[in-house]
Amino acid sequence: MATIISLDLSRRKASEHALDNLAALVGEDMTAVNQLIIRRMESHVPLIPQLAGHIIAAGGKRLRPILTLASARLCGYDGTRHLKLSASVEFIHTATLLHDDVVDASDLRRGGPSANALFGNEASVLVGDFLFSRAFQLMVEDGSIDVLRILSTASAVIAEGEVLQLTTTNNSATSEQAYLEVVRAKTAELFAAACRIGAVVAARPSSEEEALRTYGLNLGIAFQIVDDVLDYSAEQARLGKTVGDDFREGKMTLPVILAINRGSEAERAFWHRTLDETDFRDGDLEHAQDLLRRHNALRDAIDRARHYGAIARDALGIFHDHPIKQALLDIIDFTVEREF
């Protein structure tokens, strides 16, 4: 199948390397953070670094800790406090990943071997708890109550978002607004906190803290929307990634919500049978993808993501020109225009 949306080629070109560029700009910091991550996931209980290492090594992009490093440097910070806080952000993210993957016996497992498939639910939960506690220990070592407030609040909101998502799962009546509330809480809040604490360690005025919070929050929303689009994308299949995990799990994501709202009664019956009743038959995923295409649901979901990207872009307007500012702007394009 062909790529569904054609993009301005030069823009795509620039965005392709955006994450690498940003990572390179904070390369030295990131090396220190990676060492810190490895050192601080140590424990005299061997299963902890073993399991944590499995997921942290697989984690890959390190987008959230990079955002903390970049935000601090953009704010002119030249100390080292941001290193521990960046590691702390990654630990919180890793803990939520571990807890995300805990499934009930009746649920499907993801494509790859998740930590809980390899080590069991209990170990995944407990190592997640350990990393979460370790994140708070790192913050305590830093000593800023402001940072602790921001990240403890973000953690509570993330958990609320995840629970809210459970209550929308297998419910094809979920509204776009409910979806946005889940995304904002479960994903965007940590992006926002990761960026915001960069301004906090740099002791910048609240206008800059707010600008970075706005950037992170909206980047995070865009990121999650695109992630949800990619789950149905033919391009993903071409790249050898699994397609349709969200569909099979009855997750209510934006593409599906748009298709349901725009669909006929017969189509809604199809979505109800599959998403609500988890009664799957041969060809259902292909039919779902066909409906998404027919209603331009993937394209329009990306358009929605672009809107949040635009808010993120404008938020950085108050910062003077700086290679990191440009890289943060490119990250928006990278996020929205990822291959799908």
Binding region for its own copies (CB under 8 A): 43-48, 95-96, 99, 102-105, 107, 120-123, 125-130, 132-134, 136-137, 139-140, 143, 145, 148-149, 152-153, 155-156, 158-160, 162-164, 166-167
Question: What is the CB-side half-sphere exposure of residue 34 using CA atoms within 13 A?
Answer: 14
Q: State how far the Cα of 213 lies from the Cα of 232, in Å rounded to an integer.
A: 30
In the complex, what is the shortest distance from the CB of residue 199 to its own copies, in angstroms, rounded to a whole number? 18
Distance (Å, rounded) from C-alpha 116 to C-alpha 196?
A: 32
Looking at the Cβ atoms of 209 and 333, the one nearer to its own copies is: 209
CB closer to its own copies, 176 vs 300? 176
> How far is the C-alpha of 335 from the C-alpha of 340, rounded, in Å?
11
Q: Which is nearer to its own copies, 83 or 157 (CB)?
A: 157
Q: How far is the CB of 144 from its own copies (least distance, A)?
A: 9
Closest approach of its own copies to the CB of residue 29, in Å: 24
Q: Which is nearer to its own copies, 114 or 335 (CB)?
A: 114
Residue 184 CB, shortest distance to its own copies, in Å, is 13
- Shortest distance (Å) from residue 124 CB to its own copies: 9
Give me the least distance between CB of 123 and its own copies, in Å please: 6
Nearer to its own copies, 92 or 226 (CB): 92
**In angstroms, rounded to a whole number, what is the distance separating the alpha carbons of residues 63 and 128?**
19
In whole angstroms, how close is the CB of 87 to its own copies at the nearest point? Answer: 14
Nearer to its own copies, 190 or 297 (CB): 190
CB nearer its own copies, residue 19 or residue 197: 197
Residue 112 backbone dihedrals phi, psi, to 5 degrees: -75, 175
